[in-house]
Structure 1
């Protein structure tokens, strides 16, 4: 474990429409809505995930490797006002995330295969990403797309998210493509429910999860969406 990072607990579940409605009613009066929510209470997230020439992130997740990491570029509400490069790190049952802002110009440079602007020692994550692109042949693999409804609580630094309408792009990797064609990741109306917290989980949140009949899952939106596209789409690039 990197002592310089802040690690959190992360619990994941699948829920059907009925479970979602019950859980939302139980928790929305106890938690504050995320500040990024729009008028509908949701906001849109689109992420572009990267993997190396060996599909290391994919295979490690499928094999159940406990300590792993992956890289993604993420935007919100289909806008280029906020673009983040993120590295998500899993250590045992804990997760951490490191992120850096990207300009639209830098994003376009990455997508064009010009990685030199990332070679900036003053921005360690960009320099690390540059190394991965050049030496591990890290390349864009899949778009993950969904609507998020999120709530927060100061006690335990809890963040609860309902991720709905999970979709993926069909062999397309430009997150700003206005004509991006996507397909649903689930046949049924399934919501991915995630609970993140620091030291402890308030009892009322734990009770709501237990009474809702939810069973903890080891799911990955990245893996779910990779399974929907051709496995070797970018292998020769």
Structure 2
């Protein structure tokens, strides 16, 4: 247990979905890379991967030149959606993901999904998880004024859970999750399944880091989620 946290502090557990509960980050990276290529932008795959977790508006500004023709941005996003949509029926939840959601709900925690995905993508992710019985609420990109690393989506999740920041904990896989949580005043637990290393997550401010949600479930009693 990290210093300053005690068992039973959290009344709500907020989960990022892409890369945290469902194995999608590398699919997103490939689809963004191809969408950029189709619009004559050469972006290194490693740079695309490190940006996954941002909302699409922030991601384009982060990866593409500032003097680009931004009128094409909507077409790039549409290309990504079409490419990624091919995989919707083949998505895979990480081992232990649904069981972790149910374990948290079984302990009386409100389980909230806080995703930067569109409402359609979020529906596909929820179908993949198959754990709606444990989920109290969920947010999508349309409900946040500004995407991660801004805190908006975390704040919306807090409102849905009807808890104060200090009574919640967030689980995510990207430094953008950690930055958003810090701004919202919510401790963030990191997992490594999104492909971002432990050092980067801890430097961003993660209070604990686990290899994956299955390991977090095994150590649930001694974790910030308990």
Both proteins in one fold, TM over 0.5: no
Higher strand proportion, which one?
1
Higher helix proportion, which one?
2
TM-score w.r.t. structure 2 length? Answer: 0.27
Which of 1 and 2 has greater Rg?
1
TM-score w.r.t. structure 1 length? Answer: 0.26
